[in-house]
Structure 1
Amino acid sequence: MATQQQFIDFLSEIEPSGSTKAVCSSAHRTLRTKLAEHPTYRTIHKETYLSGSYARETALRPRVSDGTLRRPDVDIIVVTNYTQYDQPSNVITTLRRAVKQLGYAEIESNRRSICVSLGSVEMDVVPVIANPWHPGAWLIADKSEERWLETNPMGHNEWARAVNKRANGNFKPLVKLLKWWRRENLPHLRRPKGFIIEAMVAELMDYRENSYEELFAKLLERITTEYHWLAATGQVPHLADPSVEGNNVFSRVKPEEFKRFYDMAADHAQRVRRAQRETDPEKALLLWQRVFGDRFRKSTPKPGGLLRTAAATGGGLGLTFPAKAVVPPNKPPGFA
């Protein structure tokens, strides 16, 4: 078996480093402030806030692919004063043009956003509007379908905080463990990932458990038992979006993608239990490294262990995010 301290150390190892956080913080603050001050776009721009895994504190350290460190992704939501009658492709084009005028050179237009690439970070900038039919909800521009679709990124941020509180701070660490496990064992699988993983963990985790080892073991077993029939019959789960009524977070996952994910989870559910039963610490470590990779290491006593435990249990990256949207050029909160 592994110790709680090993998992605490491992969680510290797989989260973004201080330098990565600093780079992301500087990049998103600069872009958000410049966009708010743009000579013409400021008449469209209302406010901005962070979304995605950095905002929900479930981000991992950047991936290394073929010996190259990939840039971290930061998601920025831009609340605009467009209406549902504005053409989504024009909305995306106008945003791209404005950001290009700010001096950013490498900008790609995507289906629902623009991607701004810098040397050490990528930022997905997503324009949204208030949903006129549902107060407090939002619409996102989809240029492929030329229509506005329901979304609620701020709702996802608030949902993650609420789930983590309900789980006594264990939700976010467990999400990171499953995300890292997926990265190590299914590196080329496109989906499920990201928010789908978060929704799955929230649905299946044991909210009474505090041991990270047991939380992860039980999660893989729940995936195996709850989704057995779906995987066997070539189907994918239907899991309700916690913030967008009627939306299924698994809607874009292909059956063959889910089957690969499921089969790996079922196999590793048994492997994890073998690691737990192993009484030899060295042999147990080898089994855990077959699950998480070689960043999972022996436990090394460190000063201030109780503080480290409390920080890890909190599930965050040591960062505080705003509960409400921020209007630059006031100093935008987000990354420390």
Structure 2
Amino acid sequence: MATLNSLFTDFLSNIEPDEDTRAEAIDAHEPVREWLANHKTFGAVHVETFLAGSYRRRTSVTPIKDVDIVVVCAMNAYDPRDPKKLLTKLKAALDDNRKYKTRTTPRRRSIQIELSNIDMDIVPTVAPSGTDHPLLIPDRDVTQWFPTHPKGHITWTQNLNAATKAHENDKGRFVPLVKMARWWKYERLRGKRHPKGHMMELMAGYYHDSLARDWADVFIAWVERTTTALAPYRQTVSMPSFSDPGLSGQTIKTGMEQVDFNRFYDELQATFPLAMRARDLATTDLTASAKIWRQIFGDKFPLPGDDARKLAAPSVLTRPDIRQAPTFG
């Protein structure tokens, strides 16, 4: 018999990238990583490549649109006066491959490869203290190197998810919350660029309730905590920033204009009474409750009796841990 919690479990499966999509991502990133590691000239400065971003942290939702690949280079590739030199060297190595030559585009801190179904951002870095510590990333526009710590962000996500486990076999609540938050943004702010997925993940990290267990409670607690924490910025027409989870003492700006933030905040605030009503209604009329949840999450949220599992991807609740992602180097 369906319950609100089981409907949420099916919903999470429905927004999970399916196996075909994951296979496409693997088919995209593994060859380019091998190419750089074995390139006739770039291979001399290549130390390691690893995956980063939401794909690596397992917080992405369907479809997977992009994969971030961090390329760690030897310190002899570091030129403090000319960060663009490493970006140029990376692009030249990618352009040596006929598959990528017409598909590469220089970005501010990366080289983007646009394939038919997925984009890859190839990010060159150097590791002054080793690959498990903060890296330096070249910035083309301002001609500077900036610290970044993608592995630190991965660890942050893993630790937050571990802290939301009720027992050893529990898969945690944080990563699924990030997926719910991202899907909420997709449905309720359809077509809007901001807030980006990274910002949704940061807000989930800083405003979630680690003790909430039922899925409706997990989501509602996040909505309430987020709107409460961000209310002063909405009232004073100002913008929040967030502590960088990988770099102590550093902050991350939202990248939003005020109109973007106001739109996001107002929509999230309007979601709260809807979600409360839907949760309360579930005890007497599960179908009516599910229909309200559909106003929040769209038709990926199933109705009682839907054969949701037939089309669903393997859930984040049952897939292997993100630590099993490979490293090239």
| Secondary structure of 1:293's aligned partner | helix
The answer for the alignment partner of 1:297 in structure 2 is: 302
The answer for the alignment partner of 1:12 in structure 2 is: 13
* Structure 1 counterpart of 2:233, from 230, 233, 245: 230
* Structure 2 counterpart of 1:92, from 87, 91, 104: 87
* Structure 1 Cα separation of the partners of residues 202 and 130 of structure 2: 26
Is 1:58–1:172's contact at 8 Å kept on the other side of the alignment? yes
The answer for the alignment partner of 2:168 in structure 1 is: none
The answer for the alignment partner of 1:193 in structure 2 is: 196
1:188: how far off?
Answer: 3.1
Higher deviation after alignment, 282-291 or 244-253: 244-253
The answer for the alignment partner of 1:252 in structure 2 is: 255
* Structure 2 Cα separation of the partners of residues 326 and 299 of structure 1: 45
The answer for the alignment partner of 1:330 in structure 2 is: none
The answer for the alignment partner of 1:102 in structure 2 is: 97
1:230: how far off?
Answer: 1.1
- 1:139 matched to 2:141: no
* Structure 1 Cα separation of the partners of residues 132 and 184 of structure 2: 38
The answer for the alignment partner of 1:284 in structure 2 is: 289
The answer for the alignment partner of 1:127 in structure 2 is: 124
Is 2:73–2:125's contact at 8 Å kept on the other side of the alignment? yes
- Gaps in structure 2 of 5+ consecutive residues: 166-171
TM (normalized to structure 1)?
0.86
State the superposition RMSD in angstroms.
Answer: 2.6
Structure 1 residues 135 and 180: alpha-carbon distance in aligned structure 2, compared to 1, 3 A threshold? closer
1:218: how far off?
Answer: 1.2
| Secondary structure of 2:299's aligned partner | coil
Structure 1 residues 133 and 98: alpha-carbon distance in aligned structure 2, compared to 1, 3 A threshold? closer
Alignment of 1:138-157 (within 5 A): 138-157=135-154
* Structure 1 Cα separation of the partners of residues 5 and 122 of structure 2: 38
Structure 1 residues 117 and 134: alpha-carbon distance in aligned structure 2, compared to 1, 3 A threshold? closer
* Structure 2 Cα separation of the partners of residues 215 and 124 of structure 1: 32
1:2: how far off?
Answer: 6.1
CA deviations on 1:102-157 (whole Å, 9 max, x unpaired) are 22131111100011111222111000111469992111111001100110011111
Alignment of 1:1-336 (within 5 A): 3-62=4-63, 72-81=65-74, 82-85=77-80, 87-103=82-98, 104=100, 105-131=102-128, 136-168=133-165, 169-278=172-281, 279-300=284-305, 312=315, 315=317, 317-318=319-320, 320-322=322-324, 325-327=327-329
* Structure 1 Cα separation of the partners of residues 249 and 301 of structure 2: 39
* Structure 1 Cα separation of the partners of residues 175 and 125 of structure 2: 26
Is 1:52–1:75's contact at 8 Å kept on the other side of the alignment? yes
Higher deviation after alignment, 18-27 or 275-284: 275-284
**Which residue type is aligned with residue 244 of structure 1?**
L
**Which residue type is aligned with residue 12 of structure 2?**
L
1:189: how far off?
Answer: 2.7
**Which residue type is aligned with residue 279 of structure 2?**
Q
1:100: how far off?
Answer: 1.1
CA deviations on 1:146-196 (whole Å, 9 max, x unpaired) are 100110011111111111101111000000000000011112332222222
Is 2:195–2:254's contact at 8 Å kept on the other side of the alignment? no
* Structure 2 Cα separation of the partners of residues 52 and 101 of structure 1: 26
TM (normalized to structure 2)?
0.88
CA deviations on 1:88-111 (whole Å, 9 max, x unpaired) are 222112111110102213111110
* Structure 2 Cα separation of the partners of residues 88 and 98 of structure 1: 16
Higher deviation after alignment, 254-263 or 213-222: 254-263
* Structure 2 Cα separation of the partners of residues 300 and 200 of structure 1: 33
1:324: how far off?
Answer: 8.1
CA deviations on 1:21-78 (whole Å, 9 max, x unpaired) are 001011111110111111111012111000001100001102xxxxxxxx62011000
Is 1:113–1:126's contact at 8 Å kept on the other side of the alignment? yes
**Which residue type is aligned with residue 7 of structure 2?**
Q
* Structure 1 Cα separation of the partners of residues 81 and 90 of structure 2: 13
Is 2:291–2:303's contact at 8 Å kept on the other side of the alignment? no
**Which residue type is aligned with residue 293 of structure 1?**
G
* Structure 1 Cα separation of the partners of residues 3 and 221 of structure 2: 15
* Structure 1 Cα separation of the partners of residues 271 and 264 of structure 2: 11
| Secondary structure of 1:35's aligned partner | helix
* Structure 2 Cα separation of the partners of residues 159 and 324 of structure 1: 19
**Which residue type is aligned with residue 33 of structure 2?**
R
